[in-house]
Amino acid sequence: MLARQVTKLSCDSARREPAPRTAASSDQSGCALSRRDFVKISGVCAASLATAGVVKGSEKQALDPDRKGVLVDLTVCIGCRRCEWACNDENGLPNGELHEFDDRSVLESKRRPTSTQLTVINRVLSDDPAKPTFVKSQCMHCEHPACASACLVGAMRKTPSGPVIYDASRCIGCRYCMVACPYQFAAYEYENALTPQVKKCQLCPSRTSRGELPACVAMCPVEALTYGRRDELLALAHERIQCNPDRYVDHVYGEHEGGGTSWLYLADRPFAELGFPALGPSSPAQLTETIQHGIFKGFAAPVMLFGLLGAIGKLSHSAKVTP
């Protein structure tokens, strides 16, 4: 089976160099006023100083051009769930024997990533009962992640090399990241009374730093998962579509969805049928950051309001006193 898949997908143009891609811009307007200017202006309202971080935080984050990602070819996946086992094993999560993962009854019900299963395989039936599609879910590692934009203490962070990393030592447990995540893939350790964490795929930082593949990618017996530079994966995905137009729908999920993701998907039918949310081409974080930095740009609006209220106060008091 493995051989068949690979020959079918190989393509003469496979060696072609991918077109260079620039870092996805998280297009936030920089702030006109420096921190010092701001202090000068606001003078009296010392308390507002605390909020000066808003100004500081609007700097643009640059992503490495060679940042990594994973391409999932859903037409290849056989739903063996070996990736689930490997993920549990790598992350020290409750795990069973490998053969227990052959149990197909698990696929009867829909599952989602939880705090003890960072990746899950779901089966989506099609018109032909012999040809279901298996869909792997895990954190998508967005290019401009809403979770990281939402987090008030910077516990969620997009690393320039691709992965979105959670740092429990910063987290205060507000779970706003989970409200923000458009995929609903972040999970929480509600049962932990004192030190609960947000749990999600971290893209195996300890393995990739040693030059190894992420656990699920390394484990996959049919090479449904490909780890590599995001730009090369995108080129590869489009190549596969081009060479096998009958095999795929002409859509690489994650190329543009929600501003793009590090995990990219190929499928044989529309992604909406497979339960993928239809997202616009910009990150949900783009809009809130625009609103937020628009209102607080250079701290002009609050300072102006302060001045206006002061003027109103002065005028109304002198008007009452004079006559």
Partner 1 sequence: MTLQLSISQNRPRFFTRGVWVVSAIAMVGMLALAARFVLGLGAVTNLSNGYPWGLWIAIDVACGVALAAGGFTTAFVAHLTNREEFHPLVRPALLTAMIGYTFVALGVMTDLGRFWAMWHVMLPQMWQGNSVLFEVAICVMTYVTVLYIEFLPIVCERFIGRAHLPEPLAFLNRPVDRLLRLLDAGLARVMTIFIILGVVLSCMHQSSLGTLMVIAGAKLHPLWQTPMLPMFFLLSAFAVGFAMVIFESLLASRSFRLEPEKAILAKLARFIPVLLGIYTIAKVIDLLNRGAYVYLFDGSVASLLFVIEFGMGVALPFAILMNDRWRHTPRGLLTAASLVILGVVMNRLDVFLLAYTPTIQSDSYFPAFTEFAVTAGFIAMIVLIYRFIVLNFPVIERLEEVQA
Q: CA-CA distance, 42 to 27, in Å (whole number)?
A: 28
Q: Does 164 bind partner 1 (CB under 8 A)?
A: no
Q: Could you tell me the two tokens for 107?
A: 């696929």
Determine which residue in the list 9, 24, 55, 201 makes contact with partner 1, applying CB under 8 A: 55
- Nearest distance from C-beta of residue 321 to partner 1, angstroms: 9
Q: Does 22 bind partner 1 (CB under 8 A)?
A: no
Determine which residue in the list 1, 3, 47, 272 makes contact with partner 1, applying CB under 8 A: 47
Looking at residues 84 to 143 of the shown chain, list those that interact with partner 1 (rule: CB under 8 A). 110, 112, 114-115
- Nearest distance from C-beta of residue 124 to partner 1, angstroms: 13
Q: Does 285 bind partner 1 (CB under 8 A)?
A: yes
Q: Does 317 bind partner 1 (CB under 8 A)?
A: yes
- Nearest distance from C-beta of residue 310 to partner 1, angstroms: 6
Q: CA-CA distance, 68 to 319, in Å (whole number)?
A: 66
Region of 14-22, 80-88, 99-107, 150-158 interacting with partner 1 (CB under 8 A) = 150-158
Strand pairing category for 263-266 and 68-73: parallel
Q: Does 284 bind partner 1 (CB under 8 A)?
A: yes
Which of residues 88 and 226 has its CB atom nearest to partner 1 in the complex?
88
Q: CA-CA distance, 298 to 203, in Å (whole number)?
A: 37
Q: Under a CB-based contact definition with an 8 Å cutoff, are residues 139 and 205 in contact?
A: no
Residue 198's beta-bridge partner residues? 188
Looking at residues 168 to 197 of the shown chain, list those that interact with partner 1 (rule: CB under 8 A). 170-176, 178-180, 182-184, 186-196
Which of residues 130 and 321 has its CB atom nearest to partner 1 in the complex?
321
| Amino acid at site 13 | S
Residue 225's beta-bridge partner residues? 72
Q: By C-alpha distance, which of 66, 75, 23 is closest to 208?
A: 66
Element holding 224 (H helix, E strand): none
Q: Does 34 bind partner 1 (CB under 8 A)?
A: no
Q: Does 298 bind partner 1 (CB under 8 A)?
A: no
